């Protein structure tokens, strides 16, 4: 599981830095990380104020828009 999580983090980090293109893999990784963050928020109030950076939030918004289209 750690390797899988690391891959999602790596994919998003590389996409934000421009080392890889923003594509379906990136948006999928953002969706997975968003789901994991929401699960953490539900498990404990300690995570209530945890949020993505502005760059990651932009990618998350792209993922939502592409899902609607």
pLDDT in tens, 6-60: 799 999 999 999 999 999 899 999 999 999 999 999 999 999 999 999 999 988 8
Helix, strand, coil shares of the chain, percent, nearest 5, are 80, 0, 20
Q: pTM of this prediction?
A: 0.79
Instruction: Give domain limits for the chain.
Output: 2-68
In this prediction, residue 66 has a pLDDT band, given cuts at 50, 70 and 90, of low
- Asked if 16 and 59 touch (Cβ cutoff 8 Å), the reply is yes
Closest CA to 56 of 7, 20, 9: 9
For position 6, what pLDDT does the model report?
77
Token pair listed for 1? 């599981």
In this prediction, residue 2 has a pLDDT band, given cuts at 50, 70 and 90, of low
What are the C-alpha distances in Å from 36 to residues 17, 18, 50, 58, 65?
22, 24, 12, 17, 20
For position 16, what pLDDT does the model report?
94
């Amino acid at each position: 599981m750690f390797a899988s999580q690391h891959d999602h983090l790596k994919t998003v980090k590389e996409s934000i830095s421009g080392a890889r293109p923003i594509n379906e893999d990136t948006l999928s990784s953002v969706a997975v990380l968003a789901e994991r963050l929401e699960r953490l928020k539900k498990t404990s109030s300690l995570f209530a104020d945890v949020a993505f950076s502005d760059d990651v939030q932009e990618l998350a918004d792209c993922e939502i828009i592409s899902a609607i289209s």
